[in-house]
Amino acid sequence: MLEANESTPVTAKRSQSQLISLCVNGEWREVAVKPRLTLVEVIRDSIGLTGTKASCESGACGACTVLLEDRPILACLTLAIECDGKRVQTVEGLAEGGKLSAIQDAFLDQGAVQCGFCTPGMLMSATALLRDCPKPSREEINKALEGNLCRCTGYNAIVDAVLQASGQGVEPVMK
């Protein structure tokens, strides 16, 4: 008979780590993950990329948004083992050769960053939008970012940043 603190075979199996491969920001990595770990936990705690934020951890705020196979997903609601063999892009993967991407520059130019907690998720959603739709309207931007909540900026600066990055005549206000 099992003692109270002994695992049954089923619970032991559930807690066993599994080796998965993730291509994170263009670099393949093998990571041992427990079946119930979420992608945001693995990105932050196992891989050490802490740009992606875990806030509500229930799918409500968008702070954990990353790109999985180029599509924005909520990493707090995605199991890491479901991402085995897939490409993940985080905010750390936006800059190239030490140069910020156009959308990152535009967020700074428009004063669209205050506490910054929403910013990585906003940037990833905006990046996906601009890949699909290089000149989005305000309505399209609002729609694309509706799952990303910001408590600080009032959103106008963020929308202006996306318009600036897409070359639609919005000038920097912070220079």
Question: Contact residues for ligand FES (CB under 6 A)?
Answer: 54-57, 59-64, 74, 76, 113-118, 150-153
Minimum gap (Å) between residue 12 Cβ and ligand FES = 29
Decide whether 134 or 146 has the Cβ nearer to ligand FES: 146
Decide whether 31 or 41 has the Cβ nearer to ligand FES: 41
Decide whether 19 or 45 has the Cβ nearer to ligand FES: 45
CA–CA separation, 175 and 168 (whole Å):
18
**Please, what is the Cα angle at 134 between 171 and 114, to 5 degrees?**
50
Decide whether 12 or 173 has the Cβ nearer to ligand FES: 173
DSSP string, 67-112: EETTEEEETTSSBGGGGTTEEEE-GGGT-BTTB--HHHHHHHHTT-
Helical H segments across 110-155, by residue range: 119-132, 138-144
Q: Which residues pair with 32 in a beta bridge?
A: 19
Decide whether 65 or 166 has the Cβ nearer to ligand FES: 65
CA–CA separation, 124 and 34 (whole Å):
26
Minimum gap (Å) between residue 165 Cβ and ligand FES = 17
Minimum gap (Å) between residue 111 Cβ and ligand FES = 10
Minimum gap (Å) between residue 4 Cβ and ligand FES = 34
Distances (CA, A) of 24 to 40, 41, 101, 129: 12, 14, 17, 20
Minimum gap (Å) between residue 133 Cβ and ligand FES = 23
